């Protein structure tokens, strides 16, 4: 997601705020302090909406990379697409259901507790807390209902894709759901030209989101067909455990690796990451040996999907994954790097 920045993390999941949220806050603050307060509260409820998706994902052991918050909702980026369509529609439905629950709760609260705001006299246009609570209730109900629109990449579009995937290939289900999303996005934008500029912005967001995510999803599913052995580098540059860090860095630069592969007598020992080496002062790297630093015991089989290697790279925050054979897991037969993944991406585009 471009044009967003990290504002914190929840349960270890990075939370990013899209620049459109900031622009909306600035514009609204210029016209009305009350609506500025509403938008700030909406930010909180959108976060809860997205965390509900993440909670279901964690239940099914699906890792969430990050959450990006937009004014009309958010996007939870997951590490992998659920294998079972039933999991996806449960994940997608969680957000709107939580928004509906919050909206109904606030409506009930609005009826029971009409308490005046402490700053009501300073802001005459905010007479009671009931006004604010009622508006927040309506916003949450709108947020839940809007996200159920069957237009990809909205939650409703993901539910539609999951239902279609029960009857057809996942890639075809994505295409159909995205096509509906694009059509609705265009119609919404055209309708908004005459009635409401905000609808134009939402329509454009839906169209672009459907286009980008469709491309990403289809290529990802196609990349699953690319084997590690098809894109790995057979020439392996490694160091011995007793190699100094300075010498290891020279090997890294010559081989254009971002991490160090360690072998002893032809047997794979592990990976020493660039970050671990950079923790050591330059003057100490001449004496310290590779075996004195922490090593990651990770590898992939040559017949696995390149996506498995990519997941390891993301999870371990490394750029080098050794490739071994199932029969001889201690012998490295190649390496996969970020360049390998990029090559696999190009191959996937050609296979579509």
Mean pLDDT of 320-337: 88
Q: At 43, is the pLDDT very low, low, confident or very high (cuts 50, 70, 90)?
A: confident
2 pLDDT higher than 60: no
Of 127 and 163, which is predicted with more confidence?
A: 163
Farthest CA pair distance, the chain: 80
Rounded CA-CA distance 298/296 in Å is 6
Pairing of strands 300-301, 320-324: parallel
pLDDT band at 116 (very low <50, low <70, confident <90, very high): low
Cβ–Cβ under 8 Å, residues 210 and 181:
yes
Residues in the chain: 352
> How far is 115 from 84, CA to CA, in rounded Å?
47
Q: What is the mean pLDDT of residues 38-48?
A: 83
Residue 328 class from Cβ within 10 Å (0-12 exposed, 13-18 middle, 19+ buried)? exposed
Out of 16, 50, 213, 263, pick the active-site residue.
50
Mean pLDDT of the chain: 81
- Per-residue confidence band for 98, with pLDDT thresholds at 50, 70 and 90: very high
- Candidates 287, 38, 53, 31; CA nearest to 138 is 38
Please indicate, yes or no, whether the overall pTM of this predicted structure exceeds 0.75.
no
Question: What is the per-residue pLDDT across 263-276, written as a single tens digit (0 to 9) for each?
Answer: 988 899 989 988 88
> Strand (E) positions, the chain?
4-10, 13-18, 64-70, 73-78, 260-264, 267-272, 300-301, 320-324, 332-337
Kindly report the number of other CB atoms within 10 A of residue 316's CB atom: 15
Out of 47-56, 196-205, 233-242, least confident range: 196-205
SS3 state of residue 255: helix
* CA angle 115–119–125, rounded 5-degree value: 85
Least confident of 46-55, 219-228, 343-352: 343-352
Q: Is the pLDDT of residue 343 over 90?
A: no
Q: Can you tell me the distance from the alpha carbon of 294 to that of 296, in angstroms, rounded to the nearest whole number?
A: 7
316 catalytic residue (yes or no): no
What DSSP letter does each residue of 157-225 carry, written as one string?
Answer: HHHHHHHHHTTS-HHHHHHHHHHHHHHHHHHHHHHHHHH-HHHHHHHHHHHHHHHHHHHHHHHHHHHTT
The 10s digit of each residue's pLDDT in 213-232 is: 676 676 667 677 788 888 88
CA pair distance 270, 324, nearest whole angstrom: 12
């Amino acid at each position: 997601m471009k044009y967003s920045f990290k504002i914190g993390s929840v349960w270890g999941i990075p939370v990013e705020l899209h620049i459109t949220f900031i622009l909306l806050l600035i514009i609204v603050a210029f016209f009305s302090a009350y609506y500025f307060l509403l938008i700030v509260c909406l930010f909180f409820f959108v976060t809860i909406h997205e965390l509900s998706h993440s909670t279901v994902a964690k239940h099914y052991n699906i890792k969430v990379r990050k959450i990006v918050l937009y004014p009309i909702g958010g996007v939870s980026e997951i590490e992998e697409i659920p294998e079972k369509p039933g999991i996806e529609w449960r994940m997608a439905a969680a957000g709107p259901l939580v928004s509906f629950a919050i909206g109904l709760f606030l409506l009930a609260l609005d009826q029971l507790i009409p308490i005046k705001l402490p700053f009501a006299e300073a802001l005459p246009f905010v007479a009671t807390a009931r006004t604010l609570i009622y508006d927040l209730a309506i916003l949450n109900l709108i947020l839940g209902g809007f996200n159920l629109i069957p237009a990809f990449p909205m939650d409703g579009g993901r539910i539609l894709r999951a239902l279609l995937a029960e009857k057809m290939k996942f890639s075809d289900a994505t295409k159909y759901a995205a096509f509906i999303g694009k059509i609705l996005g265009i119609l919404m934008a055209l309708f908004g030209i005459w009635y409401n500029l905000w609808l134009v912005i939402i329509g454009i967001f839906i169209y672009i989101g459907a286009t980008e995510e469709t491309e990403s999803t289809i290529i990802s599913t196609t990349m699953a067909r690319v084997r590690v052995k098809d894109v790995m580098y057979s020439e392996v540059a490694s160091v011995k455990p007793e190699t100094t860090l300075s010498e290891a860095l020279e090997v890294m630069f010559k081989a254009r690796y971002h991490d160090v592969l360690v072998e002893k007598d032809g047997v794979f020992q592990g990976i020493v990451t660039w970050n671990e080496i950079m923790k050591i002062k330059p003057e100490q790297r001449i004496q310290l040996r590779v075996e004195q630093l922490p090593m990651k015991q990770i590898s992939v089989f040559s017949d696995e999907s390149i996506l498995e290697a990519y997941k390891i790279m993301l999870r371990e925050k490394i750029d080098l994954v050794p490739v071994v054979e199932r029969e001889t897991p201690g012998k490295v037969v190649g390496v996969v790097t970020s360049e390998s993944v990029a090559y696999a991406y190009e191959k996937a585009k050609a296979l579509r």
